[in-house]
Amino acid sequence: MPPRGRIKLPSDLVALIRSLHPEIKQKIRAALDLILAEPASGKPLQKELAGYRSFRVGRLRIVYRETSDAIIEVVAIGRRETIYLETALLVRRAGRGRSG
């Protein structure tokens, strides 16, 4: 199935991905391709992260949401131990209803 839209990555996440080990970088890129092809592939999140999804890549998680114009907005990439708290803080700070 061809991708339906495009991925939107903040510049800090682009820099993070570039700094990763090549093997992990490749896995993240493959995961982003899969998310783009099938946005519902990630696990739906709850509570204040309702509307977002989490996709597992080894010990890392990619937290994203699909916007109404078929753009996959990646909001965070990080370790499971801290990613949900960090993402909730980011979402709170940014103002949940805004898209960037």
Residue 54 domain-assigned (yes or no): yes
Residue in 30, 24, 12 with CA at minimum distance from that of residue 41: 30
Any idea what the CATH number is for the domain that residue 20 is in? Answer: 3.30.2310.20
Residue 35 domain-assigned (yes or no): yes
Give the model's pLDDT for residue 100.
44
User: Could you list the mean pLDDT of each consecutive 10-residue stretch along the chain, which spans 100 residues?
Assistant: 75 93 95 94 94 95 90 93 90 66
Question: Strand pairing partners for 74?
Answer: 64
In a 10 Å sphere around its CB, with 0-12 CB exposed, 13-18 middle and 19+ buried, how is residue 100 labelled?
A: exposed
Residue 99 domain-assigned (yes or no): no
Residue 50 domain-assigned (yes or no): yes
Give the model's pLDDT for residue 91.
85
Residue 1 domain-assigned (yes or no): no
Number of domains, the chain: 1
Residue holding tokens 């990439």?
Answer: 77
Residue 80 domain-assigned (yes or no): yes
Give the model's pLDDT for residue 79.
93
Q: What range defines the domain where residue 75 resides?
A: 6-94
Q: Give the global pTM.
A: 0.86
Residue 78 domain-assigned (yes or no): yes
Residue 100 domain-assigned (yes or no): no
Give the model's pLDDT for residue 69.
82
